[in-house]
Homo-oligomer: A and B are copies of this chain.
Amino acid sequence: MNFKTELENRILYLEENLKRYLPEEAGYSRTVREAMNYSLLAGGKRIRPMLMFEVYQLFQGTSELIYPFMAAIEMIHTYSLVHDDLPSMDNDLYRRGKKTTHAVFGEGMAVLAGDGLLNYAFETVLKAKIDTDEMGICLCSLNVLAKKAGIDGMIGGQTADILAENIGDSVDLEHLLFIHKNKTAALIEASMMIGAILAGATDDEVNKMEQIANKIGIAFQIQDDILDITSTLEVLGKETGSDDKNNKVTYVTLNGLENSKLQVKKLSDEGIDILKSIETHNGYNNLFLNELLCSMIAREK
Contact = CB atoms under 8 A, between A and B. Distances in A.
A114 B86 CA distance: 14
Interface of A is mostly: helix
Contact of A28 (B119, B135, B139, B178): B178
Nearest to A174: B28
A28 B159 contact: yes
B139 A126 contact: yes
Interface residues of A, number: 57
Interface string A68-86: 0000000000010001001
A17 interface: no
Contacts of A157: 29
Nearest to A127: B143
Contacts of A179: 28
Interface of A: 23, 27-33, 36, 79, 83, 86-89, 106-109, 111-112, 114-116, 118-120, 122-123, 126-127, 130, 132, 135-136, 138-139, 142-143, 146-147, 149-152, 155-160, 162-163, 175, 178-179, 182
A89 B115 contact: no
Contacts of A126: 139, 142-143, 146-147
Given A89-B108, A114-B115, A138-B139, A155 B83 contact: no
30 contacts: A23-B151, A27-B178, A28-B156, A28-B175, A31-B159, A32-B155, A32-B156, A33-B151, A83-B112, A88-B88, A89-B111, A109-B159, A109-B162, A112-B155, A112-B159, A112-B162, A115-B115, A115-B118, A116-B150, A116-B151, A116-B155, A118-B119, A119-B146, A119-B149, A122-B122, A126-B143, A126-B146, A126-B147, A127-B143, A135-B139
